Structure 1
Amino acid sequence: MSVHTEAVRVEQLTRVYGTDQQPVTALAGVDAVFVRGTFTAVMGPSGSGKSTLLQTAAGLDRPTSGRVRLGDTELSGLSETQLTKLRRDRIGFVFQAFNLLGALTVEENIVLPSRLAGVRVDRGWLAEVVQRVGLDDRLTHRPSELSGGQQQRVAIARALVTRPEVIFCDEPTGALDTATAADVLTLLRMLVDTHGQTVVMVTHDPVAASYADRVLVLADGRLVLDLPQPGATRIAEVLATLGRSRVRS
Structure 2
Amino acid sequence: MPSEHNPTLPHRPPEPAVRLEAVTKTYGRGHGAVTALREVTLQVTRGSFTAVMGPSGSGKSTLLHCAAGLDRATSGTVRLGGTDLTGLGETALTRLRRTRAGFVFQAFNLIGSLTVEQNITLPLRLAGRPADRALLAEVVDRVGLTGRTAHRPARLSGGQQQRVAIARALITRPDVVFGDEPTGALDTVTAREVLALLRETADTTGQTVVMVTHDPVAASYADTVVFLADGRVADTLGSPAADTVAARMTTLGARS
Aligned position for 1:67: 77
Letter paired with 1:74: D
1:36 pairs with 2:46: yes
2:118 aligned to which of 108, 120, 123: 108
| Alignment partners' CA distance in 2, 1:158 and 1:2 | 33
Letter paired with 2:44: F
SS at match of 2:79: strand
CA contact (8 A) 1:3 1:71 kept: no
The list of structure 1 runs, each at least 4 consecutive aligned residues, that deviate by more than 4 angstroms after superposition, is none
CA contact (8 A) 1:168 1:199 kept: yes
Q: Which moved more, 1:152-161 or 1:112-121?
A: 112-121
Deviation, 1:114, is 1.3
CA contact (8 A) 1:26 1:49 kept: yes
Instruction: Provide closer, same or farther for how the CA distance between residues 33 and 176 of structure 1 changes in structure 2, counting only shifts above 3 A.
Output: same
Aligned position for 1:138: 148
CA contact (8 A) 1:3 1:72 kept: no
Aligned position for 1:183: 193
1:235 aligned to which of 220, 245, 248: 245
Aligned position for 1:171: 181
2:215 aligned to which of 186, 205, 226: 205
Give ranges in structure 1 of 5+ residues lacking alignment.
none
Percentage of identical aligned residues: 66
CA contact (8 A) 2:222 2:240 kept: no
CA contact (8 A) 1:8 1:68 kept: yes
Length, aligned pairs only: 246
Deviation, 1:100, is 0.5
Deviation, 1:21, is 2.0
1:196 pairs with 2:212: no
SS at match of 1:127: helix
Letter paired with 1:210: S
Give the TM-score of the pair, scaled to structure 2. 0.93
1:8 aligned to which of 18, 26, 32: 18
Aligned position for 1:79: 89
Aligned position for 2:55: 45
Structure (1 or 2) with the greater helix fraction: 1
Deviation, 1:2, is 4.5
1:222-249 per-position Cα deviation (integer Å, ceiling 9, x unaligned): 0010110221101111111125x39xx9
| Alignment partners' CA distance in 2, 1:189 and 1:144 | 27
Aligned position for 1:128: 138
Give ranges in structure 2 of 5+ residues lacking alignment.
1-10
Aligned position for 1:21: 31
2:160 aligned to which of 147, 150, 175: 150
SS at match of 2:186: coil
SS at match of 2:147: helix
Deviation, 1:3, is 5.9
